Amino acid sequence: MTRAGKRTTTMANAESTAASTDQSNGTLEVVCGPMFAGKTSLLIERIAQAQSRGVSTIAFKHASDTRYHATHLATHAGKQVPAHAVCDPIELVSRLGRAQVVLIDEAHFFGAWLWDIIVPILRDRRTLIVAGVERDHTGKPFEPFPRLLVEADVVTKLSGPCSRCGKPAIHSQRMIADMSRLVVGGSDLYQARCRECFLK
Ligand SMILES: [Zn+2]
């Protein structure tokens, strides 16, 4: 969280909305921004907020993301909470149980297919908080975020400092020549960059 910078939320009461115990409707909060912006830290905050109200939570991550911990949501700074590592959205749904607040980290690892389970989870009147990188390493929209951002009740966009100039970063620049869309890595492979410094 120490490197996380600006936080922009589209609703003034977003925190109470996202962790709401009101079960009359499901709520979708999308947390996005470049790498090193504090997205996982915010998910861990949301879990603590819900649990302090006695609301049950369940957290998921993609099984291929083992950068910091295989079975926990873990931040670059070392904070961690238990999470289910799953291979695909169907496996995720099978493990939901009765949790009222469902959190999914690094949603871009699941691709466009993740969208298929979002509406059913919301119809179950659960609170859903989905985090990830909304732009790929070339700056293009990263599925499933275009759809998630359209449908979100609350959008929280985070930014960290640009690694070159310190201005707010919106891009995740890959530092190796690999054009695959998904390359798992941390500060060894990526830097946060502002618009001006991106791809320089
Ligand atoms: Zn910059």
**C-beta separation of 108 from 133 below 8 A:** yes
Q: Which two tokens stand for residue 59?
A: 């957290």
Q: What is the distance in A from the centroid of ligand 1 to the CA of 139? A: 15
pTM value? 0.85
* Active-site hit among 15, 45, 91, 106: 106
Domains of the chain by residue range: 7-159
Tell me the CA–centroid distance for residue 25 and ligand 1, in Å.
41
106 is an active site residue = yes
**CB contact burial 9-39 (16+ within 10 A = b; e otherwise):** beeeebbebbbbeeeeebbbbbbbbbbbbbb
198 C-alpha to ligand 1 centroid (Å): 7
What CATH topology corresponds to 7-159?
Rossmann fold (3.40.50)
Helix (H, G, I), strand (E, B) or coil at 191: strand
Residues 143-175: tens digit of each pLDDT: 999 999 999 999 999 999 999 999 999 999 888
Q: 43 pLDDT exceeds 80?
A: yes
Residue 49's CB is within 10 A of a number of other CB atoms, namely 16
Q: How far is the CA of 34 from the centre of ligand 1 (A)?
A: 13
